A and B are shown apart, each in its own frame.
Chain A
Amino acid sequence: MKFAYYPGCSADSSGVEYGMSMVRTAEILGIELFELDDWNCCGATSAHSTDKMLSLALPARNLAIAEKQGMDMLAPCAACYSRHRNVEYVIEHDPDMKHRIEEIIDKKLEGSTQTVSILDVLANKIGPATIASKVTQPLTGMKAACYYGCLLVRPVEYTGYDDPEDPQTMDEVMKALGADVLDWSHKVECCGAAMVTSRPDVGNRMLYHVLQGAKESGAECIVTACPLCMLNLDMRQAAVEKEYHTKFNLPIYYVTELLAFACGDAPETVGINKHFVDAIPYLNEVKKRAAEAEAQARAQQDKKETVTEDPELLQKKINSMIKAFEKGPDKMAGRLLDDESRASVLAEIISNDEKKRNKLAELMVSDKDKAVKVADAFVTGELKKRNE
Chain B
Amino acid sequence: MSGKKGAKTVETAVKLTPITESQKEFISRIEKEAGTSIHLCYQCGKCTAGCPAAFAMDYPPRKIIRLLQLGMVDTAINAESIWLCASCETCTARCPKGVNIASLMDAMRRAALKQGKITDKKIAAFNKGFLSGVKNFGRTYEAGLTLQYNLSTGQLFKDMALGLPMMNRGKVSIFPERIKGRDEVKKIFEKVQQLGGEE
B42-83 CB contact bits vs A (8 Å, 1 = yes)?
000000000011011000000000000000000000000000
Bound complex: CA of A197 vs CA of B140, how far in Å?
15
Specify which chain B residues have a CB less than 8 angstroms from the CB of A50 in the assembled complex. 110, 113, 127-128, 131, 197-199
Bound complex: CA of A39 vs CA of B84, how far in Å?
30
Nearest Cβ in chain A — how far from B11, in angstroms?
32
Does B198 lie within 8 Å of A58, measured CB to CB?
no
Does A57 lie within 8 Å of B188, measured CB to CB?
yes
Does B86 lie within 8 Å of A51, measured CB to CB?
no
Bound complex: CA of A155 vs CA of B93, how far in Å?
6
Does A194 lie within 8 Å of B90, measured CB to CB?
no
User: How many interface residues does B have (CB within 8 Å)?
Assistant: 60
Segment with Cβ contacts to B, from A169-177, A202-210, A246-254: A202-210
Specify which chain A residues have a CB less than 8 angstroms from the CB of B131 in the assembled complex. 43, 46-47, 50, 54
**Which residue of the partner chain A has the closest CB to B179?**
A38
Nearest Cβ in chain A — how far from B113, in angstroms?
6
Nearest Cβ in chain A — how far from B20, in angstroms?
25
Nearest Cβ in chain A — how far from B135, in angstroms?
10
Q: Judge if A340 is at the interface, Cβ distance under 8 Å.
A: no
A4-18 CB contact bits vs B (8 Å, 1 = yes)?
000001101110100
CB contact list, A42-68 vs B, under 8 A:
43-54, 57-58, 61
**With A50-B198, A61-B188, A206-B86 known to touch, is A14 a contact of B179 (CB < 8 Å)?**
no
Does A49 lie within 8 Å of B188, measured CB to CB?
no
Bound complex: CA of A371 vs CA of B195, how far in Å?
92
Specify which chain A residues have a CB less than 8 angstroms from the CB of B149 in the assembled complex. 197-198
Q: Judge if A104 is at the interface, Cβ distance under 8 Å.
A: yes
Does B195 lie within 8 Å of A52, measured CB to CB?
no
**Which residue of the partner chain B has the closest CB to A210?**
B52
Does A274 lie within 8 Å of B171, measured CB to CB?
yes
Q: Judge if A151 is at the interface, Cβ distance under 8 Å.
A: yes
Specify which chain A residues have a CB less than 8 angstroms from the CB of B33 in the assembled complex. 52
Bound complex: CA of A362 vs CA of B140, how far in Å?
76
Q: Judge if A75 is at the interface, Cβ distance under 8 Å.
A: no
Bound complex: CA of A50 vs CA of B135, how far in Å?
13
Does A190 lie within 8 Å of B86, measured CB to CB?
yes
Q: Judge if A184 is at the interface, Cβ distance under 8 Å.
A: no
A136-162 CB contact bits vs B (8 Å, 1 = yes)?
000000000000011100111000000
Specify which chain B residues have a CB less than 8 angstroms from the CB of A111 in the assembled complex. none
CB contact list, A294-340 vs B, under 8 A:
none
Q: Judge if A367 is at the interface, Cβ distance under 8 Å.
A: no
Nearest Cβ in chain B — how far from A212, in angstroms?
13
**With A38-B180, A151-B89, A190-B90 known to touch, is A16 a contact of B171 (CB < 8 Å)?**
yes
Does A199 lie within 8 Å of B89, measured CB to CB?
no
Bound complex: CA of A320 vs CA of B140, how far in Å?
80
Nearest Cβ in chain A — how far from B149, in angstroms?
8
Specify which chain A residues have a CB less than 8 angstroms from the CB of B93 in the assembled complex. 154-156, 164
**With A13-B172, A38-B179, A40-B139 known to touch, is A51 a contact of B192 (CB < 8 Å)?**
yes
Bound complex: CA of A104 vs CA of B52, how far in Å?
36
**With A12-B177, A46-B130 known to touch, is A54 a contact of B197 (CB < 8 Å)?**
yes
Contact of B89 among A40, A41, A150 (CB under 8 A): A150
Specify which chain B residues have a CB less than 8 angstroms from the CB of A154 in the assembled complex. 88-90, 92-93
List 18 A–B pairs whose Cβ atoms lie within 8 Å, in order of A's numbering: A40-B185, A44-B140, A46-B126, A48-B87, A49-B87, A51-B192, A51-B197, A52-B110, A53-B195, A53-B197, A104-B195, A150-B86, A150-B89, A190-B90, A194-B123, A197-B126, A206-B52, A276-B165
Q: Which 9 A-B pairs have the closest CB atoms?
A: A190-B88, A154-B89, A51-B197, A9-B140, A46-B130, A46-B127, A150-B88, A274-B169, A198-B126
Given A43-B134, A53-B192, A190-B88, output 20 extra A-B contacts at Cβ < 8 Å: A13-B171, A38-B179, A44-B140, A46-B127, A50-B110, A50-B113, A51-B198, A53-B197, A54-B189, A103-B191, A150-B86, A150-B88, A150-B89, A154-B88, A155-B92, A190-B86, A192-B86, A194-B126, A205-B56, A274-B169
Q: Which B residues fall within an 8 A CB radius of A?
A: 33, 52-53, 55-56, 84, 86-90, 92-93, 102, 106-107, 109-110, 113, 120, 122-123, 125-128, 130-131, 133-134, 138-140, 142-143, 149, 159, 162, 165-166, 169-173, 177, 179-181, 184-185, 187-189, 191-192, 195, 197-199
Q: Which A residues fall within an 8 A CB radius of B?
A: 9-10, 12-14, 16, 38-41, 43-54, 57-58, 61, 103-106, 149-151, 154-156, 164, 188-190, 192-195, 197-199, 201-202, 205-206, 209, 235, 274, 276
